[in-house]
């Protein structure tokens, strides 16, 4: 068994921490070569002392300065800037890159990893939402291996035929069924949603996640982004993807075949399962996750999503249908709206309302280059901030 060298982008986040937890269980299999973070310098320093990477990368020069002094005496090179994140994502001796930065900021280093032909363990769904066509093209052209970390997409990957090549019809695949927990507001009285606070929105019933994705789960924009993510990963049309609410978060998604079979992946809701799957693929390794006790869980239930309660889900399907820059515009507007909500500058219901007006104003732009997408992203942020400031 060859040891796999690993770069972890976004090491200080929830996915990064879970990745290091799995890595620590298998020191003979995985070696950490580079870790990146943004603001949590103490945490990054502690991870560096424990895992001894060759490189530690942060975004800003003053943070690098602080990190350097925390790591004095250790043989760890501290770098700063997005270019340095791209650099550690494409180091020649790195086999696998965990792409776990949150938001549009994760695109460039994930793309660098794909262009360097790495095994890309993709948690950063925003990469595919923004630039799915260009990212998938880079994966193909540079013979990168793409392994989804998002629990739903990892479940679909596991439930697809081993030789799946993006052609659903020739593999007898009829539909992808993406499950969603429904988040913290699945049963809350709709007329009280206007009073939702950031604290309530980030308190997810089943998963512990970063703040942005937790708010996305409450609005179900997360599932909307995941529909777009699935369309690129598995080359599926919007009509071939269905969202099913499953409050227990045990069935992580399913693939339906033409003969009526439905294959699913089940596990406790713990990101270490998809992370360990992708890290060791095609082997299987212990992940530290408690064994699934179905008799204790007792019931698995399923229901259709309520679009009146979760307008963001429909907006995502709308952006996917519109194509071009629309998904990138939706993603950028959503990042801005969620940040404003967490800052108490926008009420909860203002998130969906803002996204709808940004899409109305801007969607319909083509996206014939990565630069055009970046420009659409930037313009969407300006327009979104203006709408929020005026509301």
Q: Which residues of 18-39 are buried (b: 16+ CB within 10 A; e: fewer)?
A: bbbbbbeebeebbbbbbbbbbe
Residue with Cβ nearer ligand NAD (5 or 273): 273
Q: Which of 5, 6, 7, 10 binds ligand NAD (CB under 6 A)?
A: 10
Q: Cis peptide before 130, with omega less than 30 degrees from 0?
A: no
Q: Which of 150, 229, 336, 377 binds ligand NAD (CB under 6 A)?
A: 150
Among Mg ion, ligand NAD, none, what binds residue 213 when CB lies within 5 to 8 Å by partner kind?
A: ligand NAD
265 binds ligand NAD (CB under 6 A): no
150 binds Mg ion (CB under 5 A): yes
Report d(CA 251, CA 110) in Å as an integer.
28
Long-range contacts of 34-39 (CB under 8 A, 24+ apart): 34/7, 34/8, 34/88, 34/91, 34/94, 35/7, 35/8, 35/11, 36/7, 36/8, 36/9, 36/10, 36/11, 36/85, 36/88, 36/101, 36/109, 37/10, 37/11, 37/12, 38/12, 38/63, 39/12, 39/63
102 binds ligand NAD (CB under 6 A): yes
Considering just the CA atoms, what is the radius of gyration of the chain in Å? 20
Q: CA torsion 113→117→120→125, rounded to 10°? A: 60
Q: Which of 5, 16, 252, 254 binds ligand NAD (CB under 6 A)?
A: 16
305 binds ligand NAD (CB under 6 A): no
Q: Which stretch binds ligand NAD (CB under 6 A): 96-104, 135-143, 237-245, 289-297?
A: 96-104
Greatest alpha-carbon pair distance for the chain in Å reads: 62
The answer to whether 270 touches 19, Cβ cutoff 8 Å, is no
Residue with Cβ nearer ligand NAD (109 or 168): 109
Residue with Cβ nearer Mg ion (116 or 215): 215
377 binds ligand NAD (CB under 6 A): no
Site for ligand NAD in 320-349 (CB under 6 A): none
For the chain, give the number of residues.
Answer: 391
Residue with Cβ nearer Mg ion (274 or 311): 274
Q: How much helix, strand and coil, in percent to the nearest 5, is found in the chain?
A: 50, 15, 35
The CA angle 211-234-230, to the nearest 5 degrees, is 25
183 binds ligand NAD (CB under 6 A): no
Tokens read off for 237: 């049309």
Contacts of 389 (CB under 8 A, 6+ apart): none
Residue with Cβ nearer Mg ion (18 or 151): 151
14 binds ligand NAD (CB under 6 A): yes
Among ligand NAD, Mg ion, none, what binds residue 228 when CB lies within 5 to 8 Å by partner kind?
A: none
Residue with Cβ nearer ligand NAD (78 or 101): 101
Residue with Cβ nearer ligand NAD (14 or 253): 14
Minimum distance of ligand NAD from residue 58's CB (angstroms): 8
Site for Mg ion in 345-364 (CB under 5 A): none
Site for ligand NAD in 53-72 (CB under 6 A): 59
The answer to whether 380 touches 362, Cβ cutoff 8 Å, is yes
Q: Is the dihedral of CA 206, 272, 337, 365 positive or negative?
A: negative
Site for ligand NAD in 187-216 (CB under 6 A): 207, 209-210, 213
Q: How many amino acids of this chain bind ligand NAD (CB under 6 A)?
A: 25
Residue with Cβ nearer Mg ion (114 or 149): 149
Minimum distance of ligand NAD from residue 343's CB (angstroms): 15
Minimum distance of ligand NAD from residue 82's CB (angstroms): 7
Q: Around Cβ 135, how many Cβ atoms within 10 Å?
A: 25
The answer to whether 328 touches 173, Cβ cutoff 8 Å, is no
Minimum distance of ligand NAD from residue 11's CB (angstroms): 6
125 binds ligand NAD (CB under 6 A): yes
Find, among 228, 251, 259, the residue nearest to 241 by Cα. Answer: 228
336 binds Mg ion (CB under 5 A): no
Interaction site with Mg ion (CB under 5 A): 150-152
Q: Which chain residues interact with ligand NAD by CB under 6 A?
A: 10-16, 37-38, 59, 100-102, 105-106, 123-126, 150, 207, 209-210, 213, 271
């Amino acid at each position: 068994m060859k040891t796999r060298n690993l770069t972890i982008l976004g090491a200080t986040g929830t996915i990064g921490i879970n990745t290091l937890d799995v890595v620590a269980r298998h020191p003979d299999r995985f070696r950490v070569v580079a870790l990146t973070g943004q603001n949590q310098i103490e945490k990054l320093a502690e991870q560096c002392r424990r895992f001894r990477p060759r490189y530690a990368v942060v975004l800003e020069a003053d943070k690098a300065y602080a990190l350097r002094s925390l790591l004095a005496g250790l043989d760890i090179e501290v770098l700063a800037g997005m270019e340095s994140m791209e650099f550690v994502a494409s180091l020649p001796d790195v086999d696998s890159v965990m792409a776990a930065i949150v938001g549009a900021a994760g695109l460039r280093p994930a793309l660098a990893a794909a262009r360097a032909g790495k095994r890309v363990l993709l948690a950063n769904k925003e990469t595919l939402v923004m630039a799915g066509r260009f990212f998938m093209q880079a994966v193909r052209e540079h013979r990168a291996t793409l392994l989804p970390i998002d629990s739903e997409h990892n479940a679909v990957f596991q439930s697809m035929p081993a030789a799946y090549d993006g052609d659903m019809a020739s593999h007898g695949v009829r539909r992808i069924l993406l499950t969603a927990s429904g988040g913290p507001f699945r049963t809350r009285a709709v007329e009280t949603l206007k009073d939702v606070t950031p604290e309530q929105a980030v308190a997810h019933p089943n998963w512990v996640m970063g703040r942005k994705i937790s708010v996305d789960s409450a609005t179900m924009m997360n599932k909307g982004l995941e529909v777009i993510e699935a369309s690129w990963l598995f080359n599926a049309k919007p009509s071939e993807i269905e969202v099913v609410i499953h409050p227990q978060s045990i069935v992580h998604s399913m693939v339906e075949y033409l003969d009526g079979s439905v294959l699913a992946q089940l596990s406790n809701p713990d990101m270490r399962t998809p992370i360990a799957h992708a890290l060791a693929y095609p082997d299987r390794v212990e992940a530290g996750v408690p064994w699934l006790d179905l008799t204790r869980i007792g019931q698995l239930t399923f229901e259709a999503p309520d679009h009146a309660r979760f307008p963001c889900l429909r907006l995502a399907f709308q952006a996917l249908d519109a194509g071009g820059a629309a998904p990138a515009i939706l993603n950028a507007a959503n990042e801005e709206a969620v940040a404003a909500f967490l800052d108490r500058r926008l009420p909860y219901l203002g998130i969906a309302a803002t996204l709808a007006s940004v899409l109305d104003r801007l969607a319909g732009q083509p996206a014939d280059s990565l630069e055009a997408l970046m420009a659409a992203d930037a313009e969407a942020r300006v327009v979104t901030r203006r709408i929020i400031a005026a509301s």
